[in-house]
Amino acid sequence: MSKQIIRIGTRDSELATWQAKLVETELKILGFDAELVFVKSEGDLDLTTPLTEMGGKGVFTKALDDALLEGRIDLAVHSYKDLPTENPLPLKISAVMEREDPRDALVAPKGGAILKDEGIGAVVATSSNRRRAQWLHRYPNHEITNIRGNVNTRLRKVKENGWDGAIFAAAGLKRIGLDHHISQYLDWMVPAPAQGAMAVMIREDDDQMYKITSKLNHEQTAICTSIERELLNEMEAGCSAPVGAYAEIDGNQLHLAAVALTVDGKTQFDIELSSGVDESEGLGREAARKLLEMGAADIVSDLRS
């Protein structure tokens, strides 16, 4: 057992803590002692402002970045989809953990009848522009309302407000044993780039920590999420944009599906591409360029303005 205690930085929500404890367990299996260090992010402290109005980038990650740079922690554990695709700081991702279920899921306390009749009105909660846009594209008669807070808080708000439903990442519900709340998996909805994956971030110059934590990397998840984030980066859309991307490996082939929409869901652009796994680098950029040529460039421009 190493004498060094590895300090794992994490947010203090139940889900974030679960994710950090998984890394702690894996490190202990490798023979290293570790402890959790809790850090509050801007996104945790402000539970009312819509994420889109908070700027998106760094809302859940900046406080952990600061803790890493100041040496208060040795590594940070993130939901990979929360990380900006560009990071000018001297930090790097040393491992991408094996992905959980990447799908979005509907929690509907009153039952899933709202999905059976596209003509009826319903109120569905989400703070994600991507989920909002895809939902409205499929159910234009529905109303989308904003919802903030950790998983448990959002589950409570859905019930207290009498909303017809709310959209969650299936991975988050499954990881903390709340997947019994799922009314239906939204197989038709393209998830956020890297949804369901966890990333371990360290200081760029910390060779010892890289040597230790890189052993936690899950190669297939790392390849797929890299392609998805590559697409988002090429589009310069940011993690709050109504853009979805999902890559999966089947044998020696990698398949990528991506979507870009206007926030109101009225216009949608779709693309699917495939390549050999060994030749898949750049597939995300190719898909992004094709989406932009289809008309998604106007969506990105409108978001910036």
Strand order in the sheet with 243-250: 243-250, 253-261, 268-276
> What residues are paired with 255 via a beta bridge?
248, 274
State the residue for tokens 């999905």: 115
Dist. CA 64–CA 78, nearest whole Å: 9
Tell me the two tokens of residue 278. 């060994």
Q: HSE-up of 50 (CA within 13 Å, CB side)?
A: 12
Which active-site residues does the annotation give? 82
Whole-angstrom distance, CA of residue 255 vs CA of residue 261: 20
